Amino acid sequence: MLVTGGAGFIGTNFVLRIAETRPDWRVRVLDALTYAGNPDNLAGVADRVELVRGSVADAELVDRLVGESDVVVHFAAESHNDNSLDDPWPFVETNVLGTYHLLQAVRRHDVRLHHVSTDEVYGDLELDDPQRFTEQTSYNPSSPYSATKASADLLVRAWVRSFGVRATLSNCSNNYGPYQHVEKFIPRQITNILQGVKPKLYGQGTNVRDWIHVDDHNDAVVTIVEQGRLGETYLIGADGERNNREIVELLLDLMGKPADWYDLVSDRPGHDLRYAIDSAKLRAETGWTPRYRDVRAGLEQTVAWYSGHEDWWRAAKEGAEATYQRLGR
Ligand code: NAD
Ligand code: TDX
């Protein structure tokens, strides 16, 4: 199995979980080791997982590695909305061109592909909309990040239909858990509190995200690789809708701070209001179901992980906060 982006947040958790639950699978990671990738994450499985440093936008390298694989799981991406508003080009290069090169390679070598994507391709919902996103929802991305992920999804669908590529797609909601970069919402707030700094809420903190533990996402990806119908898209979600202020209040409570100990900061341009996933198709077809049903318990585990891994995040924290200071957030 070739795992692209296997040294990032979700990819690391995926590779560690595969090593634990599928000991007979041979795994190779292709990762450019950008600011978001950390090779130390995979040190504990280095005897079983080969890490190749390189870009999915390198057509020759991708062709060789895909030709030596039976299945590709494609996590590699530029993944942070705020960065995509600051400098969109790496998002176009990695997310669009990188996916194109992978598609050409899996087409040439007839290799099975699973493409990992996001619910952000569907745009956003009103706070009081009773609907949630389904596989039938129209694409309507808002940010450069989500537009490049939507572009990649459409390329995969076209390669399935026009060239018979053997691929599945999944669109998941917001993940949380160990190894997430401190630029992202939950780790940023946990590490702020650990450093005695108030959490930062964009706007009024009323935007809603549908939270899922990273292990539940990855179990769903394995399930789709093993049982998914070729050409199909599956939405992955764990019924975890909370607004950002509620998440910060939970973290403050878990970490022994007053409920109003946060700052409201300037909003993200074009900030999507609400995401919400209906994962009925995946559940009905495969029996997959999330194991982390209690967001508070999942956050408690995540707080414990960041509390115990300051060496892992300290340097990245400085860089991320310097960027936020420049952006005024
Ligand atoms: P991340 O930023 O933590 O990790 C991305 C990884 O990709 C890093 O290791 C990075 O070095 C690598 N990478 C970047 N550019 C590359 C390139 N050109 N070639 C090879 N590797 C490259 O991201 P993440 O949160 O782990 O997200 C992984 C995937 O899951 C992405 O495709 C993202 O769109 C999708 N996704 C994420 C979430 C979420 O909540 N984080 C939700 C749904 C879907
Ligand atoms: O300091 C902050 N304060 C704040 O209020 C940060 C960093 C974020 N926010 C808000 C913005 C969002 O409403 O929190 C919410 C979550 O923000 P992010 O962690 O940046 O995630 P989001 O923009 O929702 O996108 C995430 O989920 C979908 C991932 O980064 C994407 O890769 C994934 O596709």
User: Six-digit token pair at 70?
Assistant: 């039976």
Is residue 75 within 8 Å of residue 10, measured between CB atoms? Answer: yes
Parallel/antiparallel/unpaired status of strands 71-74 and 112-118: parallel
* H and E: helices and strands count for the chain: 12, 13
Amino acid at 184: K
Q: Ligand 1: which atom is nearest the Cα of residue 79?
A: 2
Q: How far apart are CA 260 and CA 265, in angstroms?
A: 14
| pLDDT confidence bin for 309, thresholds 50/70/90 | very high
Q: How far apart are CA 169 and CA 93, in angstroms?
A: 20
Tell me the average pLDDT across 305-320.
97
Helix 185-194 to helix 244-254 angle (10° resolution) is 30
Output the CA–CA distances (angstroms, integers) from residue 291 to 6, 118, 191, in the order listed.
23, 20, 26
Tell me the average pLDDT across 115-119.
99
**pLDDT per residue over 238-296, tens digit each?**
999 999 999 999 999 999 999 999 999 999 999 999 999 999 999 999 999 999 999 99
Q: What is the pLDDT of residue 230?
A: 98
**Per-position DSSP letters for 68-134, written without gaps between them:** T-SEEEE------HHHHHH--HHHIIIIIIIHHHHHHHHHHHT-EEEEEEEGGGG----TT----B-
Superfamily of domain 2-181+210-241+274-292: NAD(P)-binding Rossmann-like Domain (3.40.50.720)
Catalytic residue list: 119-120, 145
Q: How far apart are CA 236 and CA 282, in angstroms?
A: 7
Which residue's alpha carbon is nearest to atom 17 within ligand 2? 185
User: Six-digit token pair at 42?
Assistant: 């995979």
Q: What is the pLDDT of residue 108?
A: 98
Q: Is the CB of 209 under 6 A from ligand 2?
A: yes
**Per-position DSSP letters for 271-329, written without gaps between them:** ---B--B--HHHHHHH----S---HHHHHHHHHHHHHH-HHHHHHHHHHHHHHHHHHT-
Q: Per-domain residue ranges for the chain?
A: 2-181+210-241+274-292
Q: Ligand 1: which atom is nearest the Cα of residue 184?
A: 41
**pLDDT per residue over 172-208, tens digit each?**
999 999 999 999 999 999 999 999 999 999 999 999 9
User: Six-digit token pair at 170?
Assistant: 């999944």
The whole-chain average pLDDT of the chain stands at 98
Q: Is the CB of 210 under 6 A from ligand 2?
A: no
- In this structure, which ligand is nearest to the CA of 40? 1
Ligand 1: centre distance to CA 60 (Å) = 21
Helix 295-308 to helix 185-194 angle (10° resolution) is 50
Q: Is the CB of 118 under 6 A from ligand 2?
A: yes
| Widest distance between CA atoms in the chain | 58
Q: Is 315 exposed, middle or buried (0-12, 13-18, 19+ CB in 10 A)?
A: exposed
Tell me the average pLDDT across 23-52.
97
Q: What is the pLDDT of residue 272?
A: 98
**pLDDT per residue over 83-100, tens digit each?**
999 999 999 999 999 999
User: Six-digit token pair at 199?
Assistant: 């959490």
The percentage of the chain sitting over the pLDDT mark of 90, rounded to a whole number, equals 100
